[in-house]
Amino acid sequence: AAMGGFDLSLTGTTLVVLLLVPGILGWGKEGHYATCKIAEGYLTEEALAAVRSLLPDRAEGDLASVCSWPDEIKHNYHWRWSSPLHYIDTPDFRCNYKYCRDCHDSSGQKDRCVTGAIYNYTMQLMSGHSDLDSKMKYNLTEALMFLSHFVGDVHQPLHVSFTGDEGGNTIIVRWYRRKTNLHHVWDNMIIESAMKSFYNSDLATMIQAIQNNITDTDGWLTDVSSWANCTSDGTACAEPYASESINLACKFAYRNATAGSTLGDDYFLSRLPVVEKRLAQGGVRLAAILNSIFSSRTLLSLFSPCLVLFLGLAFIPVPGVQAWSKEGHIMTCRIAQKLLEPEAAHAVQMLLPDYVDGDLSALCVWPDQIRHWYRYRWTSSLHFIDTPDQACTFDYQRDCHDPHGGKDMCVAGAIQNFTSQLSHYREGTSDRRYNMTEALLFLSHFMGDIHQPMHVGFTSDEGGNTINLRWFRHKSNLHHVWDREIILTAAADYYEKDMDQLQQDIEGNFTNGLWYDDVASWKDCDNIFNCVNKFAAESIRLACKWGYEGVEPGETLSDSYFNSRMPVVMKRIAQGGVRLSMILNRVFGHPHEDSVAAT
Ligand SMILES: *[C@@H]1O[C@H](CO)[C@@H](O)[C@H](O)[C@H]1NC(C)=O
Ligand SMILES: *[C@@H]1O[C@H](CO)[C@@H](O)[C@H](O)[C@H]1NC(C)=O
Ligand SMILES: *[C@@H]1O[C@H](CO)[C@@H](O)[C@H](O)[C@H]1NC(C)=O
Ligand SMILES: *[C@@H]1O[C@H](CO)[C@@H](O)[C@H](O)[C@H]1NC(C)=O
Ligand SMILES: *[C@@H]1O[C@H](CO)[C@@H](O)[C@H](O)[C@H]1NC(C)=O
């Protein structure tokens, strides 16, 4: 009784934790239950006996009842190390998975991902089964529960998916009327809606339907034998399972589900079959793995998926200097995309992943989202330039480096680099497309950044980041005022927060308004190196004249600062957009007009 009471209260706490931390779960409780329940039906007698002997008492002989255990404990202090073992972050847009490249946690420690964990716990159970010693070394009860859970997770498409959006966790969508995120849709919502709509709100009925399909010739029967066929040498082969997941993520999960979209019947009904098949595959394959682990006949070999030395390079995190806000980047990219000539428009279309429907601005903030991720930390210093305090000038040789002196590692160097990468677009093979996509997104983002005056600011105040002050009533800092506050205040005061209206006004100013006569000179650029120097020099001059001028730490900035600076911000957004289109039109345009070649 004491034991039971303990377990209940543990579950209670866990539930609260799970509700407070949305979207870091594996398949939801239902998904894991279903996978394990299906697996139980395919266990050999031998395996079933071994599984039962390892299950904790509270499972009462039912593997499915403890398959969510790793989700329940992973936020407890004691178990936090297990969190990264639930998923794999793959490079954005590449839509493939490679163990050696992708299986590590966010600090770069290798094997710490869901496939690594599947090998780990398979290995523990295998050696535990054949060798008394390791029974002492490993807790095989835990190993069994982890393995069963992770085989489920590796089948959830958004558990093997993009780094930048955290497997869909940061993509906020509506599921019918409810606000949620894309990851959660795949963990829970599809299964829950299916239960309600088709299975009488009864999980057992849903599982039965999936099981029927496994043995039905009109269902998956002809496929089923191939699902688990790669355990031939007795080892779990999680590799193809992870590859399938990222494929499905690209084909079905991300497709037509960009941030802000509402997902309803179309999405639900077309994705449900995918989810049901993944639950079935997870179950059949878990059974196959357990059967071979616990078989007295198979001689099990250990599989080492990664023979290549993983370079766990230590990067020193650069403190958070931010970029133009989301809004600034989005407007810059929208302005640019509208000004593209047909050839460049086509190239951009080809480079963007399908699921953004050709909208460059949907991904212009991407370099900010990924810059703190391990794989992309090298990009952190590419967002800005630190110039000497009070100099109010930019000198490429003197200023364009990262904090460790790495040459060209600043926003001006990055624009040159990515422009030159894109200028090889026409020679590109399909294999290079991914790098080109990244180059396009980086270039589009950094063209915004280099036009934000405080991104070419003084070194000691980190471009105004350490100058704390108030913006009207709330706390802010000078950098942030230029990134975001001025734009948001303008949108609220003059445009009823309608960013499209604000953008139209900006565009009106250069198509036939205030800046009309200047636009040709904005686009003056015979050589990309000279141009980036010009953009950066303009920014630091504006930073001195308008950004820093008269600002004391701790003071309150309000109407007079806002009114005089707003036109500067709007013009810089316009210039960023116009010039981004100029560069893209040249790199993707006719070869003989390609005068923007890198130096
Ligand atoms: C392997 O299992 C052990 C015991 O649970 C755990 O401490 C270790 O972190 C695991 N490593 C991986 C990569 O799963
Ligand atoms: C093995 O793990 C289970 C679940 O965490 C735990 O209840 C049990 O006490 C552990 N066994 C040993 C011998 O540590
Ligand atoms: C059964 O299989 C068919 C054919 O693959 C599929 O269309 C259907 O959605 C499946 N039903 C269930 C309950 O999984
Ligand atoms: C295993 O499955 C793969 C594809 O799923 C197939 O190409 C291969 O021939 C199968 N092998 C066996 C032995 O069935
Ligand atoms: C995405 O949406 C478009 C337009 O609504 C539709 O034609 C297409 O079939 C959808 N694709 C998927 C995979 O849902």
Task: Tell me the per-residue pLDDT of 495-505, one tens digit each, with 9 for 90 and over.
Answer: 888 888 888 88
- Confirm if 364 and 383 have CB atoms less than 8 A apart: no
Q: For position 179, what pLDDT does the model report?
A: 97
Q: How far is the CA of 45 from the centre of ligand 3 (A)?
A: 29
| Ligand (nearest to CA of 217) | 3
Q: For position 27, what pLDDT does the model report?
A: 78
Residue 205: count of CB within 10 angstroms of its CB:
12
Return all residues near 8 (Cβ < 8 A) that are at least 6 apart: none
Q: Which atom of ligand 4 is nearest to the CA of 229?
A: 1
As a whole number, mean pLDDT of residues 332-341 equals 96
The residue to mutate among 256, 261, 269, having the most atoms of ligand 5 within 8 angstroms of its beta carbon, is 256
> At 375, is the pLDDT very low, low, confident or very high (cuts 50, 70, 90)?
low
User: Which of 5-9, 64-68, 89-93, 366-370 shows the lowest per-residue confidence on average (mean pLDDT)?
Assistant: 5-9
Please work out whether the CB of residue 210 comes within 6 Å of at least one atom of ligand 3: yes
CA-CA distance, 276 to 279, in Å (whole number)? 5
CATH 1.10.575.10 holds for 326-588: yes
| Ligand (nearest to CA of 253) | 5
Please work out whether the CB of residue 222 comes within 6 Å of at least one atom of ligand 4: no
> At 296, is the pLDDT very low, low, confident or very high (cuts 50, 70, 90)?
low
CA-CA distance, 354 to 551, in Å (whole number)? 46
436 pLDDT higher than 90: no
| Ligand (nearest to CA of 270) | 5
Q: How far is the CA of 256 from the centre of ligand 5 (A)?
A: 6
The residue to mutate among 141, 146, 147, having the most atoms of ligand 2 within 8 angstroms of its beta carbon, is 141
Provide the residue count of the chain: 599
As a whole number, mean pLDDT of residues 337-355 equals 89
Angle at the Cα of 11 (from 8 to 15), degrees rounded to 5?
A: 140
> At 429, is the pLDDT very low, low, confident or very high (cuts 50, 70, 90)?
low
Percent of the chain at pLDDT exceeding 90: 63
Return all residues near 584 (Cβ < 8 A) that are at least 6 apart: 336, 340, 344, 347, 348, 422, 443
Please work out whether the CB of residue 70 comes within 6 Å of at least one atom of ligand 1: no
| Ligand (nearest to CA of 111) | 1
User: Which of 195-199, 481-485, 586-590 shows the lowest per-residue confidence on average (mean pLDDT)?
Assistant: 586-590
- The distance from CA 475 to its chain's CA centroid, rounded to whole angstroms, is 30
> At 508, is the pLDDT very low, low, confident or very high (cuts 50, 70, 90)?
confident
- Confirm if 456 and 470 have CB atoms less than 8 A apart: no
Q: For position 285, what pLDDT does the model report?
A: 94
As a whole number, mean pLDDT of residues 148-164 equals 98
Return all residues near 349 (Cβ < 8 A) that are at least 6 apart: 358
Q: For position 517, what pLDDT does the model report?
A: 85
458: β partners: 387
167-194 pLDDT per residue, tens: 999 999 999 999 999 999 999 999 999 9
User: Which of 105-114, 303-312, 573-582 shows the lowest per-residue confidence on average (mean pLDDT)?
Assistant: 303-312
Q: Which atom of ligand 5 is nearest to the CA of 267?
A: 14
CATH domain 29-293 topology: P1 Nuclease (1.10.575)
Q: What rounded mean pLDDT belongs to the chain?
A: 85
Q: Where in the chain are all domains bearing CATH 1.10.575.10?
A: 29-293, 326-588
The residue with greater pLDDT, 464 or 218, is: 464
Phi first, then psi: what are they for 178, rounded to 5°? -90, 135
- Confirm if 239 and 309 have CB atoms less than 8 A apart: no
Q: For position 327, what pLDDT does the model report?
A: 87
- Confirm if 114 and 85 have CB atoms less than 8 A apart: yes
Rounded to a whole number, what is the largest CA-CA distance in the chain?
84
454 pLDDT higher than 50: yes
Q: Whose CA is nearest to atom 7 of ligand 4?
A: 226
Q: For position 22, what pLDDT does the model report?
A: 36
In terms of Cα–Cα distance, which of 477, 474, 483, 495 is closest to 455?
483
The residue to mutate among 212, 277, 278, having the most atoms of ligand 3 within 8 angstroms of its beta carbon, is 277
User: Which of 79-83, 151-155, 314-318, 459-463 shows the lowest per-residue confidence on average (mean pLDDT)?
Assistant: 314-318
The residue with greater pLDDT, 283 or 425, is: 283
Report field, pTM of the whole predicted structure over 0.95: no
Please work out whether the CB of residue 103 comes within 6 Å of at least one atom of ligand 1: no
